[in-house]
């Protein structure tokens, strides 16, 4: 039996043991709003869109099956539109009759006749984070975020992809000069010996760096925002220095915003107290990764792990002092998809509503238990940058942990032509197993403003 089949068999066993309870009344909303289950029994839904004709498309990340898929909602349920995408499929969009699919390393269009065409390939998506959903700007170009290979700039034992991609690492968005700090770990390439590996920044595992070493910049940079024509031509790097810009959106003033994930307490260079960031994206800007978090230098005492050394700068010179985020979220909130509301009847006109996936403790928190963050929809006041809960389980925790029938892993927020908010809830994740998602436990919720 193959490794994939064994994994699938184990997940099927868990599915039998674990059924998801759905009880909308367990979700707390502001007065005047109601919530219901719109769709259930999905695998790992990660992205939902409405086409120009009002048709609903939903993407499955493919992490439980090894096969990313795109579905169309019909009166008879979900119908497969296209599959065969490299997991994780991270997002879909619709533009001029084509479906744009972002999946590991590629952006692929699905044409009206069902044929597929890769329009961008070779993206540096074989590490911890990937290329994300495509959006289209007022200039008619497409924009998307590209995540980093590592947690904080150094390949280490926390990167389980090393064996498959031993020469992979992070790539800078412009020429940078390194400080030359190296990190000593067990050498996974020599498991039967007591050898150690010395690894530097922006380098493959086991490759040290030198003081004042120059790393050349790349167009397809890690932690960047890229733009291209709708056919994939004229690819440009717009900004970089973002750890994982999972979702992008333009507001009604044509300002580009990104939700960016903070660093974890893991790996060779663990970072404590790194917040998630809601960033206003300015072309040509460097946003601080791997040496600034929440707009602050990593050398501040607050970023020192409890049982680890004070992080030092990996770059001896920084491209600029990075901007402070438009809004700062709690550490490990894991902000995901978001949408601006321009429907006056729904309330909170002009504000952003964002899905918080929640912590993957203890893997990402330095061994500490699950913090009371995430597993909710938050509202960002776009006038002040203040963040408040909009929809959250009454306990404040995920449904599996608390035993409630509400949110588990919210990952996308979409406003429909019917003036309702739709929340894509990824799947149930067993406690202590952040990389296992139980099939058929994905849900789409619908939130409406009562008349």
Which pLDDT score, from 0 to 100, does residue 193 have?
A: 63
Which pLDDT score, from 0 to 100, does residue 436 have?
A: 82
Instruction: State the DSSP string of 334-382.
Output: -EEEEEE---TTTSSTT-EEEEE----TTTTBTT----S--SEEEEE-T
Asked whether the beta carbons of 236 and 206 are under 8 A apart, the reply is no
Q: Which of 84-93, 325-334, 421-430 has the lowest mean pLDDT?
A: 421-430
Work out the angle at residue 236's Cα, subtended by the Cα atoms of residues 59 and 329, and round it to the nearest 5 degrees.
55
% helix, strand, coil for the chain, step of 5: 5, 35, 55
pLDDT in tens, 271-314: 999 999 999 999 999 999 999 999 999 999 999 999 999 999 99
Whether residue 4 is predicted with pLDDT greater than 90 in this model: the reply is no
| Beta-ladder partners of 297 | 292
Rounded-to-integer distance, Cα 28 and Cα 429, Å: 22
Q: How far is CA 446 from CA 1, 40, 65, in A?
A: 41, 12, 26
Which pLDDT score, from 0 to 100, does residue 188 have?
A: 85
Asked whether the beta carbons of 280 and 249 are under 8 A apart, the reply is no
Write the CB contacts of 207 (distance below 8 Å, at least 6 apart in sequence).
Answer: 169, 199, 200
Whether residue 242 is predicted with pLDDT greater than 80 in this model: the reply is yes
- Smallest Cα–Cα separation from 68: which of 165, 133, 159, 164? 133
SS3 for 62-73 is: CCCCCCEEEEEE
Mean pLDDT of 108-117: 96
pLDDT in tens, 393-443: 999 999 999 999 999 999 999 999 999 999 999 999 776 666 789 999 999
Work out the angle at residue 64's Cα, subtended by the Cα atoms of residues 63 and 66, and round it to the nearest 5 degrees.
65
Which pLDDT score, from 0 to 100, does residue 2 have?
A: 34
């Amino acid at each position: 039996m193959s490794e994939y089949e064994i994994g699938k068999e184990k997940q099927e066993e868990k599915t039998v043991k674990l059924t998801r309870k759905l009880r909308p009344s367990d979700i707390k909303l502001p007065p005047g709003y109601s919530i219901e289950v719109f769709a259930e029994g999905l695998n790992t839904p990660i992205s939902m869109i409405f086409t120009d004709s009002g048709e609903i498309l939903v993407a499955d990340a493919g992490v439980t099956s090894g096969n990313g898929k795109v579905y169309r909602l019909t009166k008879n349920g979900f119908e497969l539109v296209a599959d065969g995408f490299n997991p994780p499929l991270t997002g879909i969009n619709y533009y001029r009759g084509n479906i744009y699919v972002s999946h590991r390393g590629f952006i692929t269009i699905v044409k009206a006749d069902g044929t597929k065409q890769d329009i961008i390939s070779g993206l540096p998506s074989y590490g911890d984070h990937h290329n994300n959903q495509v959006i289209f700007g007022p200039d008619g170009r497409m924009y998307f975020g590209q995540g980093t290979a590592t947690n904080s700039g150094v390949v280490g034992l926390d990167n389980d992809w090393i064996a498959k991609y031993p020469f992979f690492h992070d790539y800078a968005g412009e020429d940078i000069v390194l400080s030359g700090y190296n990190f000593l770990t067990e050498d996974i390439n020599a498991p039967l010996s007591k050898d150690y590996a010395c690894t530097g920044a922006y380098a493959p595992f086991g490759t040290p760096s030198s003081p004042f070493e120059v790393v050349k910049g790349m167009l397809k940079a890690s932690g960047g925002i890229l733009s291209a024509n709708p056919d994939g031509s004229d690819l440009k790097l717009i900004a970089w220095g973002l750890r994982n810009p999972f979702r992008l959106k333009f507001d009604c003033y044509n300002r580009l915003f990104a939700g960016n994930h903070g660093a974890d307490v893991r790996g060779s260079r663990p970072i404590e107290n790194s917040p998630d960031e809601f960033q206003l994206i300015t072309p040509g800007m460097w946003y601080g990764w791997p040496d600034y978090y929440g707009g602050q230098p990593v050398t501040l005492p607050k970023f020192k792990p409890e049982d680890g050394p004070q992080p030092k700068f990996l770059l001896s010179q920084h491209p600029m002092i990075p901007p402070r985020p438009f809004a700062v979220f709690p550490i490990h909130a894991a902000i995901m998809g978001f949408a601006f509301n321009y429907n006056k009847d729904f309330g909170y006109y002009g504000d952003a509503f964002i899905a918080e996936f929640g912590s993957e403790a203890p893997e990402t928190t330095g061994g500490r238990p699950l913090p009371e963050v995430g597993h909710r929809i938050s509202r960002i006041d776009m006038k002040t940058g203040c963040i408040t809960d909009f929809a959250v389980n009454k306990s404040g925790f995920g449904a599996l942990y608390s035993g409630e029938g509400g949110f588990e892993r919210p990952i996308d927020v979409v406003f429909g032509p019917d003036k309702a908010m739709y929340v894509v809830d990824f799947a149930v994740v067993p406690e202590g197993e952040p990389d296992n998602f139980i099939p058929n436990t994905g849900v789409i919720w619908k939130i409406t403003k009562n008349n």
